Amino acid sequence: DPGDYEAGEHESFMHKELLEQPAAAERMLRGRLDERFGTGHLGGLNLDARELRAIRRVKILGCGSAYYVGQMGASLIEELARIPADAEAASEFRYRNPIVEPDTLYVAVSQSGETIDTLLAVQEVRRKGGRVIGLVNVVGSAIAREVDGGIYLHAGPEVAVASTKALTNMFLGFALLAVQLGRVRDLSIADGRRLIAGLTAIPGQIEEVLATEPDLADIAKRLAEAESLFFVGRVRGFPVAREGAQKFKEISYRHAEAYQTSELKHGPLALISTDVPTVAVVPDDELVERNVAALHEITARGGPLTVVTHRGVDLGDLAGRAHRVDVPKNERELDPILLTIPLQLLAYQAALNLGHDIDKPRNLAKSVTVE
Ligand code: G6P
């Protein structure tokens, strides 16, 4: 019963919810993994294999953190199913007279299921004859009732404005959807099994990352002293950086701007100085060397640097010039979610240092239900 949900011995709901992520992820995956055939089981989609195959495009709609996870989801769908996919802020969608096509699958993402911008975007799609599924946490919410089918997130109640466990489960929902869309197309059974095994490992790996919280406190304290910060990443790392910056600004009230690492040289480098720290997301992928080269431009200007990366990644001579935060390795397509967890912890620890009301940041609401 959500009414009985309390922070208990935790000093905030955000911290409690952060730590609940392994259990929430388990609930999300339970009964939805088909190890034998390497695919996802998503009964609530109300789409058979033939209908899944007929999808030519995927458009993801959400606001705030749900929008950034939507960007991670779009990459997953493109990588695993090779269907063009993108995410758009639901708050913009209906105002630009969107083209709604019958072979596009629309996905509305929302923790509360009550965000008015997302709900109105869903209604606009349906008015134009499009098919919408939901990735929603709150059962029976307005968006859950409005969609043609969907995936419940089973994250349990979430009280803190800054979303943690719901966001993680949104990512897992996209991973399951991407595998299922892939497996009715060209994703092999071997790749499907590889990803299902990767998903199975996620809850335990989240637990490992959460255990590193004490090591992050010092870095967070220093970040909290800055007036302005950059969060950078590229390709799979960019939505992670966007979400990291969002969390940081929401609860620390520091100016935190996300940028593609590759675009630093096209503008933001002008702002880098000893007073402007950067948090860089460097997944263990084909771009490590390029990332390292771009990040040199920051340390060369005295910019304080924290690199969130995977265990075993060789950061070359950045080592010694940057703080390093490691997460365990999973399948590279699933990289974003584990990289997100230290950024949640950094934002949380920074806000704690600053003495802010972590669960109810100024000017923000948990769910925005009026336009
Ligand atoms: C509000 C919250 C954000 C949240 C967004 C979407 O703006 O402050 O933290 O990401 O709404 O909420 P939803 O319930 O639709 O996921």
pLDDT at 37 over 80: yes
Residue written as tokens 């309390």? Answer: 6
- Token pair in block for residue 140: 């029976």
Mean pLDDT value across residues 327-352: 96
Give the pLDDT of residue 1.
54
pLDDT at 65 over 80: yes
Tell the residue nearest (CA) to atom 11 of ligand 1. 367
pLDDT tens-place string over residues 146-189: 999 999 999 999 988 889 999 999 999 999 999 999 999 999 99
This prediction has a pTM of 0.96
Is the CB of 66 within 6 Å of ligand 1? Answer: yes
Is the CB of 64 within 6 Å of ligand 1? Answer: yes
- Cα 64 from Cα 369, distance rounded (Å): 14
- The DSSP H or E segment spanning 53 is helix 49-53
Average pLDDT, the chain: 95
65 alpha carbon – ligand 1 mean position (Å)? 6
Is the CB of 116 within 6 Å of ligand 1? Answer: no
Give the pLDDT of residue 204.
98
pLDDT category, 365, cuts 50, 70, 90? confident
DSSP letter for 187, please.
Answer: -
Residue (of 142, 159, 192, 139) closest to 27 by Cα position: 139
pLDDT tens-place string over residues 24-34: 999 999 999 99
pLDDT at 291 over 90: yes
Contacts of 274 (CB under 8 A, 6+ apart): 302, 303, 304
Instruction: Choose one of 17, 109, 111 to mutate for the ligand 1 pocket test, by most ligand atoms within 8 angstroms of C-beta.
Output: 111
Is the CB of 369 within 6 Å of ligand 1? Answer: no
